[in-house]
Amino acid sequence: MKTKEELLKKYEGTEFYDCINAHYGSKESFQDYDVGLLNFDENAMKDIVGAEKLTYPDFIDIQIQTGKDYRGSFMLCYYYSPIEFKGEVETFGKGTICFKRIYVDGMYPDGLMFEGKEDHVWMPAEGFGKLEKGDCISFFAEAYRYVKTSNGKKLEFGLRNPQSVKKIEKYQLPTDDELLEQTLNQIICESCYLYDSCSRINCVRHPSELRRLRKSMKEFLKDKK
């Protein structure tokens, strides 16, 4: 795709038409419900691995086509501050290593922490040293963005350049239930009526009230499945 007119023609009659027409060529970015972050700043293309042949209209188009189909935990690490990753080795390829799951710990600019996970993650093996299937490790890595070409071009987030690799015990990796508990606690904290007067260290709400909140949220999520 080479021109703005071609891009507009593709999205004529959709919710994106007016947005593209109004902000094409600007440095604006928007949080869209279906797309996630839609960035019109051409400079944002520069650090995307594999984007060398993308035109500016392609850059806008690929963001819309990707939608929310990307590794969200790695996306947070790309835009904010990763602190630590933990993973269990699943298998190996030629010069690559696959983790059954990678757990994420990170921090937002305001100091609040976030956690997450991504399943079946392939990374270059360089930098990890000698590992075996089933090994569990903690490490630091750089989050980056790249063009994924399988099943059409889309944007994806990954990890590279591992550092500070250490073997850990398997029980140190959080379970799905523990991750859910962490997520619920974060939601409760961020939406709390005492948020502006809280130290973020010790919760002042009654433990029984928090248990009721977590229980109702879990039941709500169960009904949504």
Within a domain: 219:
yes
Asked if 134 contacts 89 with a C-beta cutoff of 8 angstroms, the reply is yes
Per-residue model confidence (pLDDT) at position 48 = 94
Higher pLDDT, 112 or 73: 73
Domain span at residue 184?
A: 176-224
Identify the residue whose tokens are 């790695």.
74
- Taking CA atoms, 130 is separated from 21, 106, 165, 224, in Å, by 52, 26, 11, 43
Higher pLDDT, 114 or 138: 138
Structure confidence at residue 198 as a pLDDT band (50, 70, 90): low
Long-range CB contacts (within 8 A, 24+) of 175-183: 179/103, 179/115, 179/116, 179/117, 180/218, 180/221, 181/214, 182/115, 183/115
Kindly state whether residues 101 and 163 are assigned to the same domain: yes
Within a domain: 29:
yes
Kindly state whether residues 86 and 57 are assigned to the same domain: no
Kindly state whether residues 111 and 47 are assigned to the same domain: no
Element (H, E) at 25: none
pLDDT beyond 90 at 202: no
Kindly state whether residues 61 and 92 are assigned to the same domain: no
Per-residue model confidence (pLDDT) at position 150 = 78
pLDDT beyond 80 at 203: no
Domain boundary among 23, 44, 66: 66
Q: Is the pTM of this model over 0.85?
A: no
**pLDDT tens digit string along 156-179?**
999 999 999 999 998 677 777 777
Would residue 158 be called left, alpha or beta, if left means φ above 0 and alpha means ψ between -120 and 50 degrees? beta
Within a domain: 71:
no
Instruction: Work out how many domains the chain is built from and give that number.
Output: 3
Within a domain: 118:
yes
For residue 8, what are the contacts with CB-CB under 8 A and spacing of at least 6?
A: 17, 20, 21
pLDDT beyond 80 at 210: no
Within a domain: 209:
yes
- Alpha-carbon span 173 to 189, nearest angstrom: 23
- Taking CA atoms, 91 is separated from 138, 161, 164, 214, in Å, by 17, 19, 21, 36
